[in-house]
Structure 1
């Protein structure tokens, strides 16, 4: 089975304090091998471009590819995959625009063993931060980046991100004082990344990354109208 696939997703956000606020939206994400990103027929290429510059930090020297960015990030944490496979769930650029609230990389060594998971978070201020998650998925990860004006940088994440197969099921919980203050989920089903599927998605979910970015801003306005306190940006 080809690695490349598209997951038609349902994303939910649940805020539990200081007010209860829930919203969800539909979208889609690409699942790719970072060494073999998909190359679509020429007419569809503007609707699915993958750029190394959209993720992680560039290497200090040498060629700049997404694979090298992953390897350099892992090397900074003492991990060497020795050429093992890295797969990623992410958004592609659509007509030049991209917004990746969450990108996930599953990193295997040459024997096929999962060594680490990278969860990269982007905010609407143009910032991004990559978290190294343990392969077991049960270790708390301290929050490091200001994502929302209604959440500071206190607390820690618990992330469940099993590698997707026919189904996708990711869950992220932000804990404060040992109880979940915010819960986000991403669920979906796998579809072949055929040209017909890509073309159809441009009809049912046109400019999907842009709508995701605007949707987050709209929810921020709604929280502001509900007088949720603004947390000072570091």
Structure 2
């Protein structure tokens, strides 16, 4: 496993997104995509001409009003009495491409100044342009559970919970 300090400053992960509905009828959806994994303090520097093709915009995350994604994250953490003291934050998310973004889930691994993982934030977006953040404290295997507090799908009620596996990013990343 890669420690918080050893994770790359930027990586592009090819992904297979799988969604399975078991009731009232079983239905599976699978599609390929990619996700960026970036250090919020060292985002990839693309030439000016390529920036419309892939960029990260603070308005796509948290309340959408902070000047940077990191500032939005720190506001969220501060509202829960968490201070990562300038530690490293690694974000996994879709980039805004040609002015558009579809980003159902952004994940933030938040480390303190010594490099220790303090928490993980899972930011869920729905198709109505709303978002909700879950503050997680994964176990040693990267597992976490959160009560569902946000309407995501017209097919599912808000009741229930999420079971997540959020290991630190490395050469490979397998989130559930």
Q: Common fold, TM-score beyond 0.5?
A: yes
The residue aligned with 2:46 is 40
Preserved contact between residue 47 and residue 93 of structure 1 (Cα < 8 Å): yes
Segments of 4+ in structure 1 off by > 3 A? none
**Structure 2 unmatched runs, 5+:** 1-5
The residue aligned with 2:75 is 72
- 1:169 matches 2:164: no
The residue aligned with 1:135 is 138
Question: Over residues 167-218 of structure 1, what are the superposed CA-to-partner deviations in whole Å (9 max), with x where a residue is unaligned?
Answer: 11111xxxxxxxxxxxxxxxxxxxxxxxxxxxxxxxxxxxxxxxxxxxxxxx
The residue aligned with 2:161 is 156
CA distance in structure 1 between the partners assigned to 2:154 and 2:41 by the alignment: 36
Q: Secondary structure of 2:173's match? A: strand
Deviation at 1:58, TM superposition (A): 5.1
Aligned-CA RMSD value: 1.5
Deviation at 1:66, TM superposition (A): 1.0
Deviation at 1:80, TM superposition (A): 0.6
Deviation at 1:44, TM superposition (A): 1.6
**Structure 1 unmatched runs, 5+:** 172-234
CA distance in structure 2 between the partners assigned to 1:54 and 1:42 by the alignment: 20
Q: TM-score w.r.t. structure 2 length?
A: 0.90
The residue aligned with 2:3 is none
Q: Secondary structure of 2:136's match? A: strand
CA distance in structure 1 between the partners assigned to 2:106 and 2:45 by the alignment: 20
Deviates more, 1:2-11 or 1:137-146: 137-146
